Structure 1
Amino acid sequence: MDKNTKIYIVTFVLLILGYIYLESTKKQPVNWFPSYAAKHKIPYGTFVLEQELKNLFPSTQIKTVDIPPYIYLGDSTRVGTYFFADEALNFGDAEFLRLIEFVERGNDVFISTHGMDIDTLNFETERLVSKNLDEKVFFKLLNKAFKGKECSFDRPFSNQVFTKVDTLNTTILGITGYVNEANQRTEEGINFVKTSFGKGNFYLHTFPEVFTNYNILNAPNEQLAANILSYLREDLPILMDGYYKTGKSRITSPMQYVLGSKHLKWAYYMALIGILFFIVFEGKRKQRSIPIITPLKNQTIAFTRTIANMYFEKQEHKNIAEHQISYLLEFVRTKLHVPTTKMDATFYEYVSSRSGNSYEEVEKLFQFCDEIHLRNQITNEELIRLNKMIEKFKKTIQYGK
């Protein structure tokens, strides 16, 4: 290797190391992603909200619900105020029906989100647009206890208002709009309402940013958030939704975890650069010929067939069925990620939602498995029936109905 080549290599290495140092030490830009996740401390996370709720409601139980409302409210004994705050919320018809039944029993549901067309409650929303870019937005709660104070927000957002409300059962709690330089209102609409349903209430709000870290930590909006939260009942547990969150984290692979950490990411990049240099400088060396070693033949299938024929010839249908059920439970644990320690209605709902099979089919399959467990012997026809039910269950997961 001549002198010029060495100089080029050293210069290249120094440039790479300098770039890595600058990237790892530069100041990270502010992350304005609308997360609304309770564990996020970015401006649009709700970490501060969860901490402040404990101060605002010291004697009230506060619980985070990380499963869908449809499953959580399947237990009709649940009580509390179900609190939702996110950029967008899309409830299915069956799920929203459970929320309605939850409210009818005497509970409350608080929903804060942009855009809300709920036909069941006779509500519709649209975006309120300013006619002049210099106009400022305002928020105001109509309760006299708040003395008519108005708050504003210094960042752009989608300002939604209700265009249709159920006037017979609804109380208007807050409004929003725009004011010009002369402090005159140019646009105005309803953005916070309470509607009675059965023995409980729905609270619908169209400005979820008020509950984010940025707003609660910046005056005077922290008072607006506290005033809105004052409508929550202290005699009921507060159920904080953790399922419908834009920023809900899902680590799907080890690489996602590595690249999600600043220090692990740069360690990974430096390892790749080191491997590249090793290939460039060591790849020219001659290698000895590597002998070909024939791998051992896989006899697993042949062994399995031998054992299966032995059971079948001896008419040990019960043993075959027990093995099939064991493999089925292992399949549910590893592929559907559903624990099999307790097989009840909740277990059937989880398996049904994740496998694509109906609730009735799942219940029928596992109840038949329980019947086989309780018997000392089973017939050939019952073994065939069990096999067909398991194959149908797995085929639905792979190919759909």
Structure 2
Amino acid sequence: MNKNFKIYAIIFIIIMVIMALFEVNKKEMTDWRKNFDVNEKSPFGLFVFNQEVKDLFKNNLKKIDQNPYDYYNQHKKGLHNILVIESDLDEESWNKILTEVSKGSDAMVITSYIPKEISDSIGYFNSQMSYEDQSVLKLTDKKYQNDFIKLDKFPSGRGFEFVKPEVEILGKSMEKDSVVYANFIKTKIGKGNVYVHSEPLFLTNYYLLKTGNIKYTQDVFSYLQDRETLWFVESNTKVSRFFMRFILSKPALKYAWWVFLGGLVLFVFFNAKRKQRIVPIVEPLKNTSVDFVKSIGNLYLQEGDFHDMMAKKAQYFLNKVRIDLLIDTQNLDEEFANKLHLKTGKPIEMINEAVSLIKKGQDPYAAVMKEDLTRMNQLLDEILK
């Protein structure tokens, strides 16, 4: 087995063990969001209500997964009941509902917010809001006075104010500081009635599962006549068709899926490098010019031909003078020395000594010593600086 693959496998196993330990020790978090979803089992979902609602309406309930505007444009219905629970309906849909009510149907709207245009037509101008952490919902009818619900978890505190005289108040909210406000009203529109309840929390899982609370719910729905009821649940009942829905809905499967994806990402990350043959290291070509010069210099020294080296040094120097200083070097006389003195700024004594050594190097019969070569080399290098 490849050594690198073993390392990656060990890293992956360690990560899986760490994630498993976190998952085992993780505490289940309660989702307290007010989702009002018929498929949610969280505290503020409507799963329990969705299971019991047929019994409440004596199996005479039909769920509609369209908005009221589209449904009533496609279907003609006789007198019936309309149920809307915390749905975000457009104004056209509200108007369709009110049209059906005016014909003799009854509508029960259980929501914490209704558009102003609709609320004005129902019979109240606006809603008020309380910020108390507890409240008690009671009905005003004496036969229901012993049935109530205590809201001790995030009540919305919604209620009605500026209620018109023709509007009947069916229920109220009472807070611990003795503040009372209407939360359940009835108004007549045409031949039918509209019932509006401003606190949908009493239908959620958290409150319906408490002993005795179901009675209040039954009392609220008892105001509707015993006939077919259409429940518009378009925004809540549409189930996702995503192929991963089942896996992601189960904590254990969801955890296994994310671990699998994490391992796959690690595998791809560590193996994404392009594999290729080892590129051989090519040594760059060395500059042998210096070595060549050193070799030639050593050759001259070994042969002891100082005269030839002085001649070549003199030839190189005079060539530089002609090219760089533009001085004629045909005659190495006093005039040449003065021009070189003026252009280089070197002392005339140094230049005269250098000229003398150059002449000595050019004379094939002159006796040349090693000291002459060394001295001439020093003087010519100093002059050309």
TM class by smaller structure: 0.5 to 0.7
Amino acid of the residue matched to residue 190 of structure 2? Answer: G
Distance in 1 separating the partners of 2:56 and 2:175 = 30
Deviations 1:54-80 (A, max 9, x none): 22333x411111001001122332542
Residue 193 of structure 2: aligned partner: 201
- Name which of 173, 176, 187 aligns with 2:173: 176
Offset of 1:90 from its aligned partner?
4.0
Offset of 1:111 from its aligned partner?
0.4
Residue 40 of structure 2: aligned partner: 40
Offset of 1:215 from its aligned partner?
1.0
- Mapping of 1:280-299 within 5 angstroms? 282-283=271-272, 286=275
- Mapping of 1:239-258 within 5 angstroms? 239-245=230-236, 251=240
Deviations 1:282-309 (A, max 9, x none): 5567479xxxxxxxxxxxxxxxxxxxxx
Distance in 1 separating the partners of 2:126 and 2:247 = 42
- Mapping of 1:333-352 within 5 angstroms? none
Computing the radius of gyration from Cα coordinates, the structure with the larger value is: 2
- Mapping of 1:73-84 within 5 angstroms? 73-74=72-73, 75-84=75-84
CA change 1:146–1:276 in 2 (3 A) is closer
Residue 28 of structure 1: aligned partner: 28
Distance in 2 separating the partners of 1:286 and 1:2 = 14
Distance in 2 separating the partners of 1:259 and 1:50 = 22
Distance in 2 separating the partners of 1:213 and 1:122 = 31
- Partner of 1:100, secondary structure, is helix
- Partner of 1:30, secondary structure, is coil
- Partner of 1:179, secondary structure, is coil
Q: Indicate conservation of the 8 Å contact 2:247/2:253, yes or no.
A: yes
Deviations 1:154-197 (A, max 9, x none): 102221111122322x22100113124xxxx1x11111011111
Deviations 1:97-145 (A, max 9, x none): 2111101121111001113331222323333335xx6x74121101111
Distance in 1 separating the partners of 2:242 and 2:13 = 33
Amino acid of the residue matched to residue 129 of structure 1? Answer: S
How high is the sequence identity, in percent, across the aligned residues?
A: 26
Q: Indicate conservation of the 8 Å contact 1:76/1:102, yes or no.
A: no
1:18 aligns with 2:17: yes
Distance in 1 separating the partners of 2:81 and 2:2 = 76
CA change 1:23–1:63 in 2 (3 A) is farther
- Partner of 1:175, secondary structure, is strand
1:162 aligns with 2:160: yes
Distance in 1 separating the partners of 2:103 and 2:135 = 38
Amino acid of the residue matched to residue 65 of structure 1? Answer: I
- Mapping of 1:1-400 within 5 angstroms? 12-25=11-24, 26-58=26-58, 60-74=59-73, 75-86=75-86, 89-92=88-91, 94-116=92-114, 117=116, 118-129=119-130, 136-168=134-166, 170-180=167-177, 185=178, 187-234=179-226, 236-245=227-236, 251=240, 259-279=248-268, 282-283=271-272, 286=275
Deviations 1:317-373 (A, max 9, x none): xxxxxxxxxxxxxxxxxxxxxxxxxxxxxxxxxxxxxxxxxxxxxxxxxxxxxxxxx
Q: Indicate conservation of the 8 Å contact 2:102/2:189, yes or no.
A: yes
- Partner of 2:175, secondary structure, is strand
Distance in 1 separating the partners of 2:112 and 2:230 = 20
Offset of 1:252 from its aligned partner?
7.6
- Partner of 2:37, secondary structure, is coil
Calculate the TM-score normalised by the size of structure 1: 0.59
Offset of 1:267 from its aligned partner?
3.8
**Number of residue pairs matched by the alignment:** 272
Distance in 1 separating the partners of 2:161 and 2:15 = 58
Q: Indicate conservation of the 8 Å contact 1:37/1:242, yes or no.
A: no
Amino acid of the residue matched to residue 176 of structure 1? Answer: S
Offset of 1:42 from its aligned partner?
1.9
Uncovered stretches (5+) of structure 1, i.e. residues with no partner = 289-401
